[in-house]
Amino acid sequence: MSALAFTQLFLFFLILTLIVRFWLAVRQLHTVKKFSDNVPKQFAGRITLPAHQKAAAYTIAKTRFSLVSLTVDTVVLLGFTLFGGLQYLAGFISAHISNDMICQIALIFAVCIIAGMFDLPLDYYRKFVIEENFGFNKMTPSLYLGDMIKNALLGTTIGLPVLWILLVIMEKTGTWWWLYAWILWSAFQYLMLFIYPTFIAPLFNKFSPLTDEKLRSQIEQLMQRVGFRSKGLYIMDGSKRSSHGNAYFTGFGSAKRVVFFDTLIERLSPEEIEAVLAHELGHFRLKHVVKRIVFTSAASLVFLALLGFLKNESWFYAGLGITPDLASNAVALVLFALTLPIFTFFLSPLLSMGSRKHEFEADDFSARHTDAGHLVSALVKMYEDNASTLTPDPLHSAFYDSHPPASIRINHLLRHS
């Protein structure tokens, strides 16, 4: 393939993706607005009209803002590639740093910092304007700044050694470097499953043991029935950042923890909490977690093999605005990371389809081990509390939503009642 042909291919996918994403957003805005004045029949008496209208307004605000984010991301992508930003950065850094490894690491960090500078105001607006206006944001500017500093320090502390090893592998291990890199990446991901619950998550949130003895007993009986062993039941102080609620289990093997947001504990009844947890445990018992890990691992192997091919092709660099003299492993990593989402966007419905299948199966599991009506009432409360739209556009939902639309999910559960 020639450099010109690859440039044309890149622009084709970029423009096509932009057109489809704008079209999907317009469909979402039209559909949500169209049904905003009427609560769907299956939710009548469960969700009030003001709550339904709030969810519609929240969805519209987020969708409109997503178009702003998409525009900024596209400008940044073109700025780094065809407009010469990465070419300039690579030349500037190589002219001032003689050590090749330090030069490559500095380039990747520079790209991350610059991209972060564009994302920061968007993220701030998302939290302190949109989330704030709808009553969800509980963060203070100081907490936001503290989180940002912690993330930066963690990213550097953990990411720097991993990046250094990866670049050494790319440089020293020959044609099959991508296979060794995949082994490194897989080992790192599995390690994070063990250390995240114990060492990383507590840096951002406080995890307190569940002290409600009646609820604890009820949950332990459920876990015993489904054969789930946990290192503990915890309540997380999610309310200090957001009023959104959730429950999940984290970790792997003996490090598994069941975690409830404090907002969820306050809002749901014990029976509803049990039903929600049964759904999460369903993901575990039905091997969804293992399947996701295997799929992610297999996908990363395919993508690394693809990168192994592309990094040796001059048209890959030249087609994205990089001259051959500045081509390097770091440049290949950056270009691949920047452009991969453009070429894989149309796989989104397939990924969503698989995720939704797992959600239906987990709902069925919950209905077998608890009262399906309790899960329905819990979901309705969560839809209302999180201002989740009850009337999404089907096509938009197929691309972006990992969970089934509310009406379809509730109707599916009601068949168990």
pLDDT above 70: percentage of residues in the chain: 97
pTM, two decimals, is 0.89
Catalytic residues, by residue number, are: 280, 363
Burial of residue 339 (number of CB atoms within 10 Å: 0-12, 13-18, 19+):
buried
pLDDT of 213: 83
In one-letter notation, the amino acid at residue 169 is I
In one-letter notation, the amino acid at residue 345 is F
Band the pLDDT of 80: cuts 50, 70, 90: very high
pLDDT of 255: 59
358 in a labelled binding site: no
Indicate if the pLDDT at residue 300 is higher than 80.
Answer: yes
DSSP secondary structure code for residue 367 in this structure? H
> Which of the two residues, 175 and 233, has the higher pLDDT score?
175
pLDDT of 253: 60
**Strands in 141-290 per DSSP E:** 207-209, 233-236, 247-250, 257-261
Band the pLDDT of 178: cuts 50, 70, 90: very high
Indicate if the pLDDT at residue 117 is higher than 70.
Answer: yes
Band the pLDDT of 252: cuts 50, 70, 90: low
96 in a labelled binding site: no
pLDDT of 394: 95
Alpha-carbon distance values, 288 to 39, 107, 360, 416 (Å): 33, 38, 12, 22
Indicate if the pLDDT at residue 52 is higher than 90.
Answer: yes
Residue ranges covered by each domain of the chain = 1-176+301-417
State how far the Cα of 265 lies from the Cα of 245, in Å rounded to an integer.
Answer: 9
Band the pLDDT of 239: cuts 50, 70, 90: confident
Indicate if the pLDDT at residue 267 is higher than 90.
Answer: no
Q: What are phi and psi of 409, to 5 degrees?
A: -70, -45
DSSP secondary structure code for residue 342 in this structure? H
Band the pLDDT of 247: cuts 50, 70, 90: confident
Indicate if the pLDDT at residue 254 is higher than 60.
Answer: no
> Which of the two residues, 260 and 4, has the higher pLDDT score?
4
pLDDT above 90: percentage of residues in the chain: 63
> Which of the two residues, 199 and 339, has the higher pLDDT score?
339
Burial code (b: 16+ CB inside 10 Å, e: under 16) for 273-298 equals bbbbbbbbbbbbbeebbeeebeeeee
Which range among 28-37, 146-155, 248-257, 287-296 shows the weakest confidence by mean pLDDT? 248-257
Q: Which helix (H) or strand (E) element contains residue 188?
A: helix 177-195
Which range among 7-11, 122-126, 370-374 shows the weakest confidence by mean pLDDT? 370-374
Q: What are phi and psi of 415, to 5 degrees?
A: -70, -20
Q: What is the DSSP string of 29-54?
A: HHHHHHTTTS--GGGTTTS-HHHHHH
403 in a labelled binding site: no
Band the pLDDT of 237: cuts 50, 70, 90: confident
pLDDT of 215: 85
Average pLDDT in the chain: 90
Burial of residue 98 (number of CB atoms within 10 Å: 0-12, 13-18, 19+):
exposed
State how far the Cα of 365 lies from the Cα of 360, in Å rounded to an integer.
Answer: 9
Which range among 36-40, 114-118, 238-242, 274-278 shows the weakest confidence by mean pLDDT? 238-242
The token duo for 401 is: 């939503």
Indicate if the pLDDT at residue 68 is higher than 80.
Answer: yes
pLDDT of 251: 63
Judged by DSSP in three states, 380 sits in: helix
Indicate if the pLDDT at residue 257 is higher than 80.
Answer: no
pLDDT of 355: 93
